[in-house]
Amino acid sequence: MKILHLDHIVLPVRSVADSVAFYEGVLELASSQFGEGLTALIVGEQRISLREVGTGQLGARAPTAGSAEFCFVVRDLDAVSQRLDTAGIAVEKGPVRRNGTLGPLLSLYVRDPDGNLVELAEYEDPQ
């Protein structure tokens, strides 16, 4: 078996509408409808499907809104920081240096409406 790449993940949320407002309005991700009334956030060639906890759909054994941690790679972390400030989103930590999949990162950490820890990171210049 050879796994080729990650297609999508499912993020348990309390409110799809609140999550879309945050990810579209603050982080400028696009949302998309698919299937039977399902909503996803588009990140490059992957998606984050949003599923309200308690909807009864097949999913994780114990889905809990606010239990995720993930990292988005961004361009121009200074501009991202300004956007967060303008939107009134508190930075919990950062900028701090971290290790990403492809090398050193400079990261900011914020919380989404459910309390998920969202890392916004820019790869450091390799020079």
Q: What is the pLDDT of residues 46-68, one digit of tens each?
A: 999 999 998 877 788 899 999 99
User: Which two structure tokens, joined as six digits, stand for 51?
Assistant: 């599923």
Q: Which of 24, 119, 122, 124 is catalytic?
A: 119
Domain boundaries in the chain?
Answer: 8-57+67-123
Q: Would you say 91 and 82 are in contact if contact means Cβ atoms under 8 Å apart?
A: no
In this prediction the pTM is 0.92
β partners of residue 120: 72, 108
CATH 3.40.50.720, domain 8-57+67-123, yes or no: no
Query: What is the phi/psi pair of residue 14, to 5°?
Result: -80, -35
Give the up-direction half-sphere exposure of residue 94: CA atoms within 13 A in the CB hemisphere: 24
> 127 falls in which pLDDT band (50, 70, 90)?
very low
Is 122 considered catalytic here? Answer: no
pLDDT of res. 32: 97
One-letter amino acid at 42 equals I
User: What is the spatial distance between Cα 127 and Cα 113, in angstroms, rounded to a whole number?
Assistant: 37
Across all residues in the chain, what is the average pLDDT?
Answer: 94
